[in-house]
Amino acid sequence: MLPHGDDEEKWLAEGIAGIQHNAFYMHRALDSNDLKDALRYSVQMLSELRTSLLSPHKYYELYMRAFDELRKMEMFFREETARGTISVIELYELVQHAGNILPRLYLLCTVGSVYIKSKEAPAKDVLKDLVEMCRGIQHPIRGLFLRSYLCQISRDKLPDIGSEYEGDADTVNHAIEFVIQNFTEMNKLWVRMQHQGPTREKDKREKERSQLRDLVGKNLHVLSQIEGVDLDIYKETVLPRVLEQVVNCKDELAQHYLMDCIIQVFPDEYHLQTLETLLSAFPQLQPTVDIKTVLSQLMDRLSNYAASSIEVLPEFLQVEAFSKLSNAIGKVIEAQVDMPVVGAITLYVSLLTFTLRVHPDRLDYVDQVLGACVKKLSGKAKLEDGRATKQIVALLSAPLEKYNDIVTALKLPNYPRVMDHLDNGTNKVMAVVIIQSIMKNTTFISSADKVEALFELIKGLIGDMDETQDDEIDEEDFKEEQNSVARLIHMLHNNDPEEMLKIICTVRKHIILGGPKRLPFTVPPLVFSALKLVRHLQGQDGDVIGEETSATPKKIFQILHQTIEALLSVPSPELALRLYLQCAEAASDCDLEPVAYEFFTQAFILYEEEVADSKAQVTAIHLIIGTLQRMNVFGVENRDTLTHKATGYSAKLLKKPDQCRAVYACSHLFWVDEQDGIKDGERVLLCLKRALRIANAAQQMANVTRGSSGPVVLFIEILNKYLYFFEKGNPQVTSSVLQGLIELIKTEMQTDGSSDPSADAFFASTLRYIQFQKQKGGAMGEKYDPIKI
Amino acid sequence: MNYIIGAFKPPCNITISFADGKTRKKASIKKENGQTAMVPLFQSLENIVGEVSIEPVQGKKIEHTGVKIELLGQIELYFDRGNFYDFTSLVRELDVPGDIYERKTFPFEFSSVEMPYESYNGINVRLRYILKVTISRNYVSNIVESQDFWVRNYTPAPTINNSIKMEVGIEDCLHIEFEYNKSKYHLKDVIIGKIYFLLVRIKIKNMELEIRRRESTGSGPNTYVETETLAKFELMDGAPVRGESIPIRLFLSPYELTPTYRNINNKFSVKYFLNLVLVDEEDRRYFKQQEITIYRLQETS
């Protein structure tokens, strides 16, 4: 028969009306100093508080009204006793004549307050009497409010140290005793509430109870305000007593709230010094209590405390805070079998945060935490629980954030083991986080061991985690991930070639298994990283001669060769080709002719066998030509073979303009504008002439197919090539040849009806250039002089 | 008219006054008509001293065959109304036979009067002390005037005063242990005690302590017993659990109690009981009654 909302409102209104009615007569009695009537009406007024019909919330409203009226009574009592109409002792007896217990006790507390103030009896005695007498109210809500009233009126009258009510030496203990006793009784009432009434309304009662919790908690607050509660007393008396009550009440709601309360109201310093006692209570709590939140709170507070000032850190060490917390967590997890994984992990996150704040230098602690977490997770499959996963990410991110240095994390053997428990998606996210951390802090990973460890961490990105390849992988995300891996590879660096080589080998070992989708992303950075090493070796060539080192360029090239080969299976021939050419160039710089030749061979093979697309061929051939042009390592024979090949391929391109351009590009192969470069003017001219022929052929083909002349631009391009070699002093290129070509172009352009504005502009600027050179005078001007435009 | 009234009026005014009437303590007594009156207060073995003044109505003389004053202790049982039983009767002759013409006073004194019983106004019984002046006359009825006074006897604090401690209960339902600090209380005493709940299987709503007075009159088959509840004092509100101990502190002073009277002259007894009542949510009452002795302690002041 619990109240419905409407009825409750009605009852509350009735209660308030009752209070107001009686308060009115009480005021009249107070005004006429009529003690007897004042008592009578105040008793009647307080009788309204005897109701059982109201929920705590409404009851509170009623209580507050009565409370205000009682302040007036208290004032009246004080005046009466001051005036000497009645002694406070008589008054203290007089109010106890009331037949109903609740009004009686409210009045008793009110007079008690006056009694203490009068100092006619030691505060401790009065308080003790009051707290004992209040036992008469066993009804939870009424009892809680009465005792809360007691707490309220007594808080400024405790015989605390330094208080005016301080008594003999032992005085503080009485104050503490009083508060603790009141707390204990209130808690008992509060806990009992849930057992009263029908089971089906349990939820409602729980809700009501949580509305009342602050009444209970207030006592702890008062305790914490007592000056006399120093560390010793807290340690010896207060905490054990309070904890005893908390543990013994065996109530989930109460235990959770009160532990939290203890942690919040008492100073951090006390917690630190009593950590053992405090923590020992946790495993004794009910299995359903949400310990993790509370413990996390504690650890957060402690870590904030540690962070607040550097001076307190020694205290933490002194009390071995870490091992105590760690033990406690272990015990709690052991005790609460049903605790969800997320709970356990949350605890570990808090512990880790604590550790990082308090013992930043103790990596072993960090690892210990992670180890414990692994232990908890072991035997379980990958985590399905989203929240748990989140917590693990938090757990793993914390050290990264703290140390800003992945190297530190790499030293933690348990780190990857924790990661193993993440699902694939999260694992990747975590790996990206790690890489980002490295990038952000530009941390160089400088040993093969660390690299090994790192790749263990990010293996989610390096290879496919398991056979169940989900198809939903977002292409962009994938690219993003792989790009970050690629960036990461550049961060793996050591100045010592030996170590660097090891690093490269390690990286290679990992990425080579990455599968066709990843290799195009991961191989290039590795190749360039290796080439960088090669150049580095080359740079210090002189110094290392004579030393027996394994990190020779030759060796590196071998590795590179194998690495690039892997791309063939992808297949990604264009990329491989580029890389081969890069390697060839590097090999050339190292004077390793056979190696360079081999790389070129590979490039050509690729060109022949794999590059089928005509556009790709064009690009490839230009690359080959460009690279080859700069190679100076080859002997005449090798070079001939290669140039011959290149020229051959150029002429065999599909489209005429492409052919043309490739062929005139080939001309550079015979003219290296360096001191010792070959300068074979004849063959240059041969190439250019061939290009002209092809251009002509292109022109005719265009005529045939489209009825219009083809692009004159090819001629202009060839003219520019001629000009180049003319200037470089190729004896085969003479001014008359140039003159002829210019004339040719002019005719072509005239016959060509539809003029191409870009070609016109191109030609015009070429002519302008010639004009400019002519006017410049000097040797160059003389050279140009014969040409007429 | 005056003449007629004058015929029924007693021919004289008799007043009885005590020697220390002004200073003597008085007790406030509830009379039968509900009004309170103040009457002089005595205790056993006191000297009762005073004087009687007889003042004849103007112009009349009183012939008498003697004037006497009696001190009577009477028990009046209401079912036997009008029949007084005198347990004490002392007589002093005030005047030899003769005539009284004018106001005349006679001093009297009863020394160390033994008044073993206290005055008492009960439901079925009354015990009272009076001084009765009788002017005996021939042929016409005697002229009688009486004056009540109150007697209270004080007892020293008992040397043996054990506490009352008892464990009671209903099997598998309710088990309590209660303790009252004494078995004998004086009228202004405080009952201190506690109730300890050993087993609670019923839903208790509240608990109160009653003070009950049992007055039994007559004897044998004609015994009348009246029980009154003089005090209802709530001790506890709500349902306790096992292990709770509830304090008792009951001040007796606000209640109109008398000392316990045991077998007063074989006519009546007044006994007091503490009745501990537990009320459950269905308003069933569980109680245990325990006799206490109440006495009147000599006030030190």
Q: Which residues of B touch A101 (CB under 8 A)?
A: 206, 234-237
Q: Which residues of B touch A188 (CB under 8 A)?
A: 241
Peptide linkage before A571 cis (omega within 30 of 0) = yes
Q: What is the pLDDT of residue A466?
A: 52
Q: Is A198 on the interface with B (CB under 8 A)?
A: no
Q: What is the pLDDT of residue A545?
A: 45
Q: Is A378 on the interface with B (CB under 8 A)?
A: no
Most confidently modeled range among A35-49, A360-374, A575-589, A597-611: A35-49
| Nearest-CA distance B170 → chain A (Å) | 21
Tokens of B299: 């006030």
Q: What is the pLDDT of residue A390?
A: 79
Rounded to an integer, the average pLDDT of A60-79 is: 94
- Asked if A100 lies within 8 A of B251 by C-beta distance, the reply is no
Cβ pairs A/B, distance under 8 A: 54
Q: Angle CA(B203)–CA(B209)–CA(B215) in degrees, nearest 5? A: 130
Q: Best interface-test mutation with B: which of A43, A48, A135 has the largest number of B CBs within 10 A?
A: A135
Q: Which one of B237, B238, B251 has the shortest CB-CB distance to A96?
A: B251
Q: Which residues of A touch B233 (CB under 8 A)?
A: 99
Of A698, A708, A683, A607, residue with least CA distance to A650: A607
Rounded to an integer, the average pLDDT of A56-60 is: 92
Most confidently modeled range among A222-226, A380-384, A602-606: A222-226
- Asked if A139 lies within 8 A of B239 by C-beta distance, the reply is yes
Q: Is A128 on the interface with B (CB under 8 A)?
A: no
- Asked if A138 lies within 8 A of B235 by C-beta distance, the reply is no
Tokens of A357: 């704040």
The phi, psi pair for B207, rounded to 5°, reads -140, 140
User: What is the chain A residue with the closest CA to B230?
Assistant: A99
Judge whether A511 and A523 are in contact, CB under 8 Å.
yes
Of A344, A420, A328, residue with least CA distance to A387: A344
Single-letter amino acid, residue B11: P
Rounded to an integer, the average pLDDT of A367-394 is: 75
User: What is the chain A residue with the closest CA to B237?
Assistant: A137
pTM for the whole structure: 0.74
The overall average pLDDT reported for chain A is: 82
Q: Is A131 on the interface with B (CB under 8 A)?
A: no
Q: Please tell me chain B's helix, strand, coil percentages from 3-state DSSP, rounded to the nearest 5.
A: 5, 60, 35
Q: Is A143 on the interface with B (CB under 8 A)?
A: yes
User: What is the chain B residue with the closest CA to A132?
Assistant: B247
- Asked if A93 lies within 8 A of B237 by C-beta distance, the reply is no
Enumerate the β-bridge partners of residue B70: B91, B132
Q: Is A142 on the interface with B (CB under 8 A)?
A: yes
User: What is the chain A residue with the closest CA to B244?
Assistant: A135
pLDDT tens profile A167-203: 766 778 888 999 999 999 999 999 988 877 777 788 8
Q: Which residues of B touch A99 (CB under 8 A)?
A: 231-234
| pLDDT exceeds 80 at position B49 | yes
Q: Angle CA(B115)–CA(B117)–CA(B119) in degrees, nearest 5? A: 100
Q: Which one of B232, B241, B247 has the shortest CB-CB distance to A192?
A: B241
| pLDDT exceeds 90 at position A28 | yes
Q: What is the pLDDT of residue B301?
A: 52
Tokens of A663: 């062929």
Q: What is the pLDDT of residue A342?
A: 78
Give the integer Cα–Cα distance in Å for A740 and B295.
154
User: What is the chain A residue with the closest CA to B254?
Assistant: A97
Beta strands in A428-508 (DSSP E): none
Residue A255 confidence class, pLDDT cut points 50, 70, 90? very high
Of A682, A590, A696, A678, residue with least CA distance to A637: A678
Q: Which residues contact A740 (CB under 8 A, 6 or more apart)?
A: none
Q: Angle CA(A582)–CA(A583)–CA(A584) in degrees, nearest 5? A: 90
Q: What is the pLDDT of residue A67?
A: 95
ipTM of the complex: 0.89
Beta strands in B137-223 (DSSP E): 143-151, 164-170, 174-180, 184-186, 190-200, 204-217
Judge whether B105 and B51 are in contact, CB under 8 Å.
yes
A638 compared with B233, residue with greater pLDDT? B233
- Asked if A143 lies within 8 A of B238 by C-beta distance, the reply is yes
Give helix then strand counts, H and E, for chain A: 40, 0
Q: Is A97 on the interface with B (CB under 8 A)?
A: yes
Rounded to an integer, the average pLDDT of A213-218 is: 91
- Range A392-429 burial, b when 16+ CB lie within 10 A, else e: bbbbbbbbbebbeebbbbbbbebbbbbbebbbbebbbb
Q: Best interface-test mutation with A: which of B234, B244, B278, B280 has the largest number of A CBs within 10 A?
A: B234
Q: Which residues of A touch B251 (CB under 8 A)?
A: 93, 96-97
Q: Is A239 on the interface with B (CB under 8 A)?
A: no
Q: Which one of B206, B244, B251 has the shortest CB-CB distance to A97?
A: B251
pLDDT tens profile B244-297: 999 999 999 999 999 999 999 989 999 999 999 999 999 999 999 999 999 999
Rounded to an integer, the average pLDDT of B162-169 is: 94
Q: What is the pLDDT of residue A544?
A: 47
Rounded to an integer, the average pLDDT of A417-445 is: 76
Judge whether A549 and A497 are in contact, CB under 8 Å.
yes
Of B58, B65, B61, B122, residue with least CA distance to B95: B65
User: What is the chain B residue with the closest CA to A197?
Assistant: B203
List, in order of start, the domains of chain B with CATH numbers: 12-151 (2.60.40.640), 164-295 (2.60.40.640)
Q: Is A214 on the interface with B (CB under 8 A)?
A: no
pLDDT tens profile A438-466: 777 777 777 777 777 777 777 777 766 55
The overall average pLDDT reported for chain B is: 90
Rounded to an integer, the average pLDDT of A664-675 is: 78
Q: Please tell me chain A's helix, strand, coil percentages from 3-state DSSP, rounded to the nearest 5.
A: 75, 0, 25
| Nearest-CA distance A141 → chain B (Å) | 10
pLDDT tens profile A116-161: 999 888 888 999 999 999 999 999 999 999 999 999 999 888 888 7
Q: What is the pLDDT of residue A21?
A: 96
The percentage of residues in chain B with a pLDDT greater than 70, rounded to a whole number, is: 96
Q: Which residues 333-362 of chain A have a CB within 8 Å of chain B? A: none
- Asked if A142 lies within 8 A of B251 by C-beta distance, the reply is no
Q: Which residues contact A727 (CB under 8 A, 6 or more apart)?
A: A773, A780, A783
Q: Is A196 on the interface with B (CB under 8 A)?
A: yes
Q: Is A35 on the interface with B (CB under 8 A)?
A: no
Residue A1 confidence class, pLDDT cut points 50, 70, 90? very low
Q: Which one of B234, B239, B244 has the shortest CB-CB distance to A101?
A: B234
Determine which helix (DSSP H) or strand (DSSP E) holds B76, and give its type and residue range.
strand B66-77
Judge whether A567 and A520 are in contact, CB under 8 Å.
yes
A291 compared with B155, residue with greater pLDDT? B155
Give the integer Cα–Cα distance in Å for A761 and A778.
28
Q: What is the pLDDT of residue B296?
A: 94
Give the integer Cα–Cα distance in Å for A325 and A314.
16
| pLDDT exceeds 50 at position B1 | no
- Range A4-32 burial, b when 16+ CB lie within 10 A, else e: eeeebeebbeebbebbeebbebbeebbee
Q: Which one of A96, A142, A143 has the shortest CB-CB distance to B249?
A: A96
Of B275, B289, B291, residue with least CA distance to B162: B291
- Asked if B251 lies within 8 A of A137 by C-beta distance, the reply is no
Q: What is the pLDDT of residue A457?
A: 75
Q: For residue A301, count other CB atoms closer than 10 A to its CB.
A: 17
Q: What is the DSSP letter of B216?
A: E
| Nearest-CA distance A65 → chain B (Å) | 21
Most confidently modeled range among A206-210, A636-640, A751-755, B254-258: B254-258
| pLDDT exceeds 80 at position A112 | yes
Q: Which one of A132, A142, A192 has the shortest CB-CB distance to B237?
A: A142
| Nearest-CA distance A34 → chain B (Å) | 18
Q: What is the pLDDT of residue A468?
A: 47
Rounded to an integer, the average pLDDT of A491-501 is: 77
Interface of B with A (CB under 8 A): 206, 231-241, 244-247, 249, 251, 253-254
- Asked if A102 lies within 8 A of B237 by C-beta distance, the reply is yes
Residue A305 confidence class, pLDDT cut points 50, 70, 90? confident
Of A317, A319, A411, A330, residue with least CA distance to A366: A411
Q: Best interface-test mutation with A: which of B249, B276, B279 has the largest number of A CBs within 10 A?
A: B249
Give the integer Cα–Cα distance in Å for A751 and A748.
5
Residue A583 confidence class, pLDDT cut points 50, 70, 90? confident
- Asked if A136 lies within 8 A of B235 by C-beta distance, the reply is yes
